[in-house]
Amino acid sequence: MEMRVGRSFRAYSPGIGPLAAIAAVAAIVLTARPALAQMPGEQPNLRPRITQEMVRSGLKHKDVRAAGHRIFATPFNVLDGLGDGPMNPSDTESPGGRPTLGANGMFLRMNGLDSQTCLECHSILSTATIPARFAVGGAGNVSDSAFPGVVDPDINDSENNGFAAISGRMINPPFSFGSGGVELLAKEMTQVLQALAAQAQTNPGAPVALEAKGVAFGSIVFANGSLDTSGVEGVDDDLVVRPFGRKGCCATIRAFDVDAMQFHHGIQPVEVVGEGVDADGDGVENELLVGELSALHVFQTSLEPPQQRGRAPRGAELFGLIGCAECHVPELRSEGRLLTLSFPEVHEDPSANVYYTIDLSRPPARFAKVGRGVSVPLFADLKRHDMGPGLEEHTGDALDPFYQTARLWGVADTAPYLHDGRAATLSEAILWHGGEAQASRDLFAGMPDEERTDLLTFLRTLRTPRRPNRDLR
C-alpha cells in the first residue's frame, strides 16, 4: 500500500492543514497592485491565442509545436492573468488566493507565486560546459527550485542543532527532453496493469502478479467483493503509472502542466475553472485555453530525447553488476510508435478521447524503431522506490522517502542532482542512495577507485540532445 501524493492540486499540494484560525485574522485585504484599468497601452504577452480546434485540425504539427514552444517561453503579465486574486483567508496555500510578499503584491518564492514563465526554471541544456548552454524545456539550477507546501521554514535554527527545518518540499526542475517516449511507455504500462486488475476480478481469491514491461509492481487480489491493493508496490493503488514529477504525481505532461501554470504563475486553465470564469478574481478570464495546454503538451512530448555519446563498456557493465540497472533500467521498449494525446484525459484509460497523434519515430523526437515500437533509453523503471531516511522529504504531514526512479538519460549535463539539487557531483548523488538502493550504493562505495572512475565515465556518456528545438527558431 502506498500513499497517494497530493489531492486536488496533485503535482504540488502538501495537503491543506487546519485553517480555521487564520480566517479570524484575515479581515484586511491589501490592494497595492495597480488595477488593470489603470494600464492603457499595455498588452498581454500571450498572443495570438490557440484554440483546441486549431490544434486538432487547423495547424500543421510544426506550427502546434511552435505555439507550445512560445507558450512555454511566454512571460505572463497581469493582463494575461499573472498572479492570484485577492488573498483567500480560508485557503492561503492553494493557487488563487495565496498571500503575496507584502508591498510587492506579487511574488513569494516560497509556496508560489514564483515566476512569470516556465522558461525561468526549465532552461538548461547542459551544465557540463562553462558557461552553461540553454534550451527551452531544459532543466533548472538550485536557484530555480520550487518550494511547494513550505509554511514554516526555520532558517535561524530555533532548535539550535545545526539543521534549518523545513515543513514542505524543496525540488529542483528536471528537463522535458524525450518525455513523449516516457509518456507512451507509461500509458502502455497502465493498460497492462489495468488488464491484470480486470483479470484478478474475474478470479476471486487468486492473487495476480502485477508486471509491465518486465517491471514488477507487487500483486493484487479480488477478495470479499473488492480489490485488495495492499500488495501493490511502487505505483498508486489505481494502477495508473505516473512517471512525471519526482514523486510520480502525474500520468501525463498535460496533468503536470495544468498544476504548474497555477502554482508558479497563477495562470488558471479554462479546463480547471471553466470558460468565461475569473475564478481568482484578478480581472482576467480564459487565462489559458484548452488548445493552449494542448499545444504545450504537443511541444513537450515532441522534444528530442537525450542520447548516448561515446562508449564506456567497462562502466556500463559495472552499472549492471552492482545493481544500478535494477531501477535505472537502461532501455524500455514501446509496443507502438504513436503517442496519443487525450482531452479530457482519463488516466485509467489512455485510449479515451484521443484528439492528437505523434509518431515518435519521426523527427524531431526520432526514437529508434524496434519491431513495431520504439526504444526509449531512459535508464529508469517508471516505478517509485523507498530511498531511505537520508532522502525523505515533507509531503503534508508525513516524511516521505519514495521517489520515481530518476531517469539517467542526459545525466552528464544536468548537475546538480537529486530531487533538491543537493548533490553537485555524480558521486555525491550515488552516495546519498539508501533504502531499497542501499546494497547497490554500498557496492559502489566499496569499489576500487579505478572502477568507480569507469562507472562515472559511463554516466558521462549520457548526454542531453545536441540542439533541441532547432527547427523552431
Which residues of the chain form contacts with ligand HEC (CB under 6 A)? 11, 72, 114-115, 118, 120-122, 140, 144-146, 171-174, 176, 179, 244-247, 249, 253, 256-257, 260-261, 264, 296, 322-324, 326-328, 385, 387, 391, 403, 405-406, 408, 411, 414, 417-419, 426, 429-430, 433, 436-437, 440-441, 444
| Residue 181 to residue 375: CA distance in whole angstroms | 8
Q: State the minimum distance, in angstroms, from the CB of residue 157 to ligand HEC.
A: 23
**Scanning the structure block, which residue is given the C-alpha cell 500509458?**
187
Which candidate, 327, 347, 328, 334, places its Cα nearest to that of 233?
Answer: 327
Between residues 173 and 373, which has the closer beta carbon with respect to ligand HEC?
Answer: 173
Q: State the minimum distance, in angstroms, from the CB of residue 315 to ligand HEC.
A: 9
Q: State the minimum distance, in angstroms, from the CB of residue 194 to ligand HEC.
A: 22
Q: State the minimum distance, in angstroms, from the CB of residue 337 to ligand HEC.
A: 21
| Residue 39 to residue 31: CA distance in whole angstroms | 16
Between residues 108 and 370, which has the closer beta carbon with respect to ligand HEC?
Answer: 108
Q: State the minimum distance, in angstroms, from the CB of residue 31 to ligand HEC.
A: 26
Q: State the minimum distance, in angstroms, from the CB of residue 457 to ligand HEC.
A: 12
Cβ density class 109-128: b for 16+ within 10 Å, e for less = ebbbbbbbbbbbbbbbbbbe
| Beta carbons of 138 and 125 less than 8 angstroms apart | yes
Q: Provide the CA 387 distance to its chain's centre, in angstroms.
A: 18
| Beta carbons of 253 and 243 less than 8 angstroms apart | no
Q: State the minimum distance, in angstroms, from the CB of residue 404 to ligand HEC.
A: 6
| Residue 255 to residue 263: CA distance in whole angstroms | 13
CA geometry: angle 403, 94, 73, nearest 5 deg = 75
Between residues 228 and 326, which has the closer beta carbon with respect to ligand HEC?
Answer: 326
Q: State the minimum distance, in angstroms, from the CB of residue 49 to ligand HEC.
A: 16
Which candidate, 224, 184, 176, places its Cα nearest to that of 73?
Answer: 176
Q: Provide the CA 376 distance to its chain's centre, in angstroms.
A: 18
Between residues 222 and 444, which has the closer beta carbon with respect to ligand HEC?
Answer: 444
Between residues 11 and 200, which has the closer beta carbon with respect to ligand HEC?
Answer: 11
Q: State the minimum distance, in angstroms, from the CB of residue 343 to ligand HEC.
A: 16
Q: State the minimum distance, in angstroms, from the CB of residue 76 to ligand HEC.
A: 9
| Residue 259 to residue 148: CA distance in whole angstroms | 12
Between residues 222 and 417, which has the closer beta carbon with respect to ligand HEC?
Answer: 417
Between residues 200 and 305, which has the closer beta carbon with respect to ligand HEC?
Answer: 305
| Residue 209 to residue 175: CA distance in whole angstroms | 33
Is the four-CA dihedral 239, 243, 245, 246 of positive or negative sign? positive
Distances (CA, A) of 299 to 1, 39, 136, 231: 35, 32, 10, 37
Residue type, 199: Q
CA geometry: angle 20, 23, 27, nearest 5 deg = 170
| Beta carbons of 91 and 111 less than 8 angstroms apart | no
Between residues 92 and 268, which has the closer beta carbon with respect to ligand HEC?
Answer: 268
Between residues 197 and 255, which has the closer beta carbon with respect to ligand HEC?
Answer: 255
Q: State the minimum distance, in angstroms, from the CB of residue 418 to ligand HEC.
A: 4
Which candidate, 416, 232, 228, 446, places its Cα nearest to that of 321?
Answer: 446
Between residues 122 and 463, which has the closer beta carbon with respect to ligand HEC?
Answer: 122
Is it true that the peptide bond before 79 is cis, omega within 30 degrees of 0? no
Between residues 16 and 22, which has the closer beta carbon with respect to ligand HEC?
Answer: 16
Distances (CA, A) of 203 to 225, 233, 271, 323: 11, 21, 39, 35
